[in-house]
């Protein structure tokens, strides 16, 4: 067994590998760029080596710097994590030439399976069912149009060396093929240093289901069940689960055996994932093989009890697999939610900044529920524009699927993140979506259910009563605390006022205090809008960011933040402003004029912090609706900004190469 390994990665996956290495008694070496000088993985590792400037192309993607760090520290092996150099065969060979072990498959397997074009050819030769497509080199956009026409629309344009949804476009017409081809090549070049793309038929409404495999250097191979990864946005996974609610035992066995056969055929030696798309009739087609650890590996670990990172390290050290296929049992259900630094209310555009508050829910086993949070940040960490926007992977396990989903819902509501925009409201809303809860999903789920983007969920009357009860309880406790402060000019005296008005959004709800005392812990009897009595019980204290307690028979965890004259309450994807007032105050408040937002309809605003790649128009130019105005790059993704209507450009306020903040003016229109 190794005594010291180097992790050639950053963020949560570097922290994840360090945890298992520590458990195995193996010393660890972290590498870091300028942007990651104070990162959590640097603090966790036994040693850390600086490898260059912030851009990955000058640090994490430079094999020579990783090898130099190994030599300087005496690391015997390298775990590549995912992304970066994890599927680059030349890196694996360079390590072997220096006598350093690569904790992953051999170069031949990486070449055969890691390249999407070559893997398709290999799978075809091995008689694995594949999707119709063109696997040769595509010369230019015109060639791409011709191929797409022969295959039939819609088609998928994909980067050969791609992953994580980058360098991937769906095209439904000839015009979209040309634009998608250019964008896919550009993204592939900047993300992977390889601009080759291929085209295949796009299967409408498929499920994305993948099989986890393990194989050692002694000819043993097995599969660890499947992961359902169909909840995707822009071809990037958002929520995963294990097992799939769609597969039956027969299909699971067939997919697993095919995945193992494919791995054995390339002499695969490590953990790997064979991805399939599955249609509504349970026909499955080989998509690709990821010759590395997957982002969503924790759900497999939770349902099998097998540490995949440990298995990778043991296989790389030459050990035989200690488990057989008959030992693999799927126990219960696990769900993973990816917390991204992105604004769900602005079409999920990236967000950067400092985590002024970062307090995940408590990890561990609580009754029949397990909570796990894989992360690489802490309070005060900086979310940078140089890397992927994933902040954490929150996982829950329970005996049944719905119990795991409900546990995830409560964990999301308990997760405190301030300082950046994030997708937690969307994830929380998703956990309540009937179609998700029933398991009726496909890769088109998000685009079908949220065609106009995500907006805050509007609470129904019962939910408004819950939110109003929380607001009333918070306000009563706040006032009582103020009244007890020494030195006040006019401390409160007399009985507690019974009648209140709670403003939830734009609605005014009456609230009556029926019984109870203002104390910590609190237990009050409330009637909201003349409804039946609700018992509100909580040990919340002023300053707590999460309100936990009971409202009637509901167990509640809700985010509360003070705002001017009230608070903002976020719960299960709902986010409302709430204000508790005395009836006379509410009467006057109704008469107050509303503040109108300024008109920005004649400006193109930068929708996220990013770099201006190109400006497609000139001052004085007339532009038709749908035409490209500018391209802005953020977190390795290129975002095309198009005209929403016919207009004339009056003034350009930015140029290519400019680094812009969110809502910075790019151009003005006449």
Rg from Cα positions in the chain: 27
**β-strand partners of 610:** 660
Beta strands in 582-661 (DSSP E): 603-605, 610-615, 622-623, 628-634, 637-642, 647-652, 659-660
β-pairing verdict for 27-32 and 47-50: parallel
CA separation for the pair 44, 42 (Å, rounded): 6
Give CA 49 to chain center in angstroms: 28
CA separation for the pair 520, 539 (Å, rounded): 6
Check if the beta carbon of residue 167 is closer than 8 Å to that of residue 191. yes
DSSP calls for 139-190: -SHHHHHHHHHHH-SSEEEEEEEEETTEEEEEESSHHHHHHHHHHHHHHHHH
DSSP 544: -
DSSP calls for 336-404: EEEEESEEGGGTTEE--EE-SEEEPPPPEEETTEEEEEEES--TT-EE-TTS--EEEEEEEEESSHHHH
CA separation for the pair 222, 271 (Å, rounded): 10
CA separation for the pair 288, 291 (Å, rounded): 9
Q: How many CA atoms lie within 13 A of 380 on its CB side?
A: 3
CA separation for the pair 279, 301 (Å, rounded): 26
Active site residues: 288
Check if the beta carbon of residue 144 is closer than 8 Å to that of residue 157. yes
DSSP 322: S
CA separation for the pair 338, 238 (Å, rounded): 5
Check if the beta carbon of residue 309 is closer than 8 Å to that of residue 210. no
DSSP calls for 429-495: HHTT-HHHHHT---TTHHHHH-TT---PPPP-HHHHHHHHHHHHHHHHHHHHHHHTSTT-SS---SS
Nearest Cα neighbor of 110 from 268, 287, 258, 216 is: 268
CA separation for the pair 546, 490 (Å, rounded): 31
Give CA 266 to chain center in angstroms: 31
CA separation for the pair 225, 398 (Å, rounded): 17
Q: How far apart are the first and last CA of the chain?
A: 69
């Amino acid at each position: 067994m190794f005594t010291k390994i180097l992790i050639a990665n950053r963020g949560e996956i570097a922290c994840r590998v360090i945890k298992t290495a520590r458990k195995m008694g193996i010393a660890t070496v972290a590498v870091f760029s300028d942007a990651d000088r104070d990162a959590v993985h640097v603090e966790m590792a036994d040693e850390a080596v600086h490898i260059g400037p912030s851009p990955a192309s000058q640090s994490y993607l430079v094999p020579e710097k990783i090898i130099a760090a190994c030599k300087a520290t005496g690391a015997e092996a390298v775990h590549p994590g995912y992304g970066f150099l994890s599927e680059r065969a030349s890196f694996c060979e360079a390590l072997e030439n220096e006598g350093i072990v690569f904790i992953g498959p051999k170069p031949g397997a990486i070449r055969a399976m890691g390249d999407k074009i070559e893997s398709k050819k290999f799978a075809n030769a091995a008689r694995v069912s594949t999707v119709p497509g063109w696997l040769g080199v595509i010369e230019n956009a015109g060639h791409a149009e011709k191929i797409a026409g022969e295959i039939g629309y819609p088609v998928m344009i994909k980067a050969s060396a791609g992953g994580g949804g980058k360098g991937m476009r769906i095209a439904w017409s000839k015009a979209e093929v040309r634009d998608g081809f250019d964008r896919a090549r550009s993204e592939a070049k900047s993300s992977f240093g390889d601009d080759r793309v291929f085209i295949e038929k796009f299967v409408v409404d498929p499920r994305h289901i993948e099989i986890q495999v393990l194989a050692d250097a002694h000819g043993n191979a097995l599969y660890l069940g499947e992961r359902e990864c169909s909840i995707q946005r822009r071809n990037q996974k958002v929520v995963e689960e294990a097992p799939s609610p769609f597969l039956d035992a027969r299909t699971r066995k067939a997919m697993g055996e095919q995945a193992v056969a494919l791995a054995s055929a390339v002499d695969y030696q490590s953990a790997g994932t064979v991805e399939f798309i599955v249609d509504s009739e349970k026909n499955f087609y080989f998509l690709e093989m990821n010759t590395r650890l997957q982002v969503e590996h924790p759900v497999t670990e939770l349902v099998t009890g097998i540490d995949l990172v440990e298995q990778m390290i043991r296989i790389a050290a030459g050990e035989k697999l200690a488990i057989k296929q008959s030992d693999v049992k799927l126990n219960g259900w696990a769900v993973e939610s990816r917390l991204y630094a992105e604004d769900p209310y602005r079409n999920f555009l990236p967000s950067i900044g400092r985590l002024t508050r970062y307090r995940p829910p408590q990890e561990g086993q609580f009754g029949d529920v397990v909570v796990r949070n894989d992360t690489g940040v802490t309070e005060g960490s900086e979310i940078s524009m140089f890397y992927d926007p994933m902040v954490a992977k929150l996982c829950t396990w329970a005996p049944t699927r719905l119990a795991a989903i409900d546990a995830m819902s409560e964990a999301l509501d308990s997760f405190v993140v301030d300082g950046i925009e994030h997708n937690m409201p969307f994830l929380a809303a998703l956990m309540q979506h009937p179609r998700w809860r029933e398991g009726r999903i496909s890769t088109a789920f998000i685009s079908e259910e949220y065609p106009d983007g995500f907006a805050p969920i509007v609470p129904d009357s019962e939910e408004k009563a819950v939110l109003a009860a929380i607001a009333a309880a918070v306000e009563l406790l706040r006032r009582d605390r103020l009244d007890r402060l020494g030195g006040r000019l006019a401390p409160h005296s007399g009985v507690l006022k019974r009648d209140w008005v709670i403003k939830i959004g734009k609605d005014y709800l009456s609230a009556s205090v029926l019984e109870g005392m203002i104390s910590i812990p609190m237990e009050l009897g409330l009637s909201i809008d003349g409804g039946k009595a609700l018992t509100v019980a909580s040990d919340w204290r002023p300053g707590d960011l999460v309100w936990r307690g009971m409202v009637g028979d509901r167990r509640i965890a809700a985010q509360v933040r003070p705002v001017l004259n009230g608070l903002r309450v976020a719960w299960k994807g709902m986010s409302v402003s709430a204000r508790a007032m005395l009836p006379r105050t509410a009467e006057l408040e109704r008469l107050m004029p509303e503040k109108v937002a300024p008109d920005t309809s004649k400006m193109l605003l930068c929708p996220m912090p990013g770099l201006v790649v190109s400006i497609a128009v000139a001052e004085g130019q007339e532009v038709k609706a749908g035409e490209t105005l500018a391209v802005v790059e953020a977190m390795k993704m290129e975002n095309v900004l198009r005209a929403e209507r016919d207009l004339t450009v009056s003034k350009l306020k930015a140029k290519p190469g400019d680094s812009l903040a969110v809502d910075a003016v790019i151009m003005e229109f006449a």
